[in-house]
Structure 1
Amino acid sequence: MAKQKIVVKVTMTNENKIHKALKIAVSLSGVESASFVGSDKTQIAVTEEDVDSVELTTLLRKSVGYTELVSVGPVEEKKPAAANEKKPTAAPLFVNPYEYYYGNYGMPYYEYI
């Protein structure tokens, strides 16, 4: 079976429930990663292989509180950067060696008359 991404919205009222929900999500066998998503960080995105989304939702409902299954879908694969693309290089940095050794004193000032 291919990897799936499950997004679950959980009502978490305090820090203990947040830690408990993440611990439950990670404890299932087959889970590769779990993270908080959404603007208010009330959704948990779980990347998994061979995990039942209903089982995850049921476990979270029993121990944390109200849980809603938002989406289940395939994981978006990241495409590697093209080898032919050239990255812009920064201009070389010129360092005055006298400024390095003399610090803020600089070169001695000579006045030619």
Structure 2
Amino acid sequence: MKQKIVIRLPMNDDKSRSKALKTVVGVSKHLESAALIGTEKNQLEVVGEGIDAVVLTRALRKNVAHADLVSVTKDKKSEEKKGDTKKKNEASVPPPDVWYSVPYYNGHHYPIHVVREPSYDPCTIM
């Protein structure tokens, strides 16, 4: 499930913004996008799958400045895109063909053998 996380940070210069983006990319493995939003570019929007918001906020507090977790929501855009692609894929892919073949070599059919589990008797040597 893709989620959108918004975190507020006091970022006054380009150095702190760059450091915040590097921290986000380093912490989250399944990151889809990270962007600065807001009128003052003081909010960080992270979109991805399986991102832990608390771990991300702690890393930003440790490396950049005090961070406030604003919201964690499902990403509506990715759900709409997935729904459209699933419908297209289902309609365009024909059902798979089922083939059955009997082993055949030099004009002779091989007999079918029944394989059973061997029965082991407990061996008492001593």
What TM-score comes out, normalization by structure 2 length? 0.59
The answer (yes or no) to whether the contact 2:11–2:41 under 8 Å persists in 1 is no
CA distance in 2: counterparts of 1:41 and 1:17, whole angstroms: 11
* Cα distance in 1, alignment partners of residues 57 and 31 from structure 2: 14
The whole-number CA distance in structure 2 between the counterparts of 1:77 and 1:16 is: 31
- The residue aligned with 2:111 is none
CA-CA distance at 1:24 after TM superposition: 1.0
> Match of 2:4?
5
CA distance in 2, matches of 1:15, 1:77: 29
The CA deviation at 1:42 is 0.4
Q: Deviations over 1:29-78 (max 9, x none)?
A: 01111001111110010001011000000000001011000000000227
Task: Report the identity percentage.
Answer: 39
Structure 1 Cα separation of the partners of residues 77 and 15 of structure 2: 33
Structure 2 gap segments, 5+ residues each: 82-126
Cα RMSD between the aligned structures? 1.4
The one-letter code sitting in structure 1 at the alignment partner of 2:24 is A
Indicate if the aligned counterparts of 1:31 and 1:47 stay in contact, CA closer than 8 A: yes
Q: Which has the higher helix share?
A: 2
Q: Which moved more, 1:15-24 or 1:54-63?
A: 15-24
Matched to 1:63, the amino acid is N
Matches within 5 A, 1:1-113: 2-27=1-26, 28-77=28-77
State the alpha-carbon separation in 1 of the partners of residues 30 and 3 from structure 2: 11
Q: CA deviation at 1:15?
A: 1.8
Provide the C-alpha distance between the structure 2 equivalents of 1:60 and 1:18, rounded to a whole number of angstroms: 11
The count of residues paired between Structure 1 and Structure 2 equals: 79
Q: Separation in 1 of the partners of 2:14 and 2:57?
A: 19
User: Which structure has the greater CA radius of gyration?
Assistant: 2
Tell me how far apart the structure 2 counterparts of residues 15 and 39 of structure 1 sit (CA, whole Å).
Answer: 15
2:5–2:73 Cα contact (<8 Å) kept:
yes
The residue type paired with residue 25 of structure 1 is: V
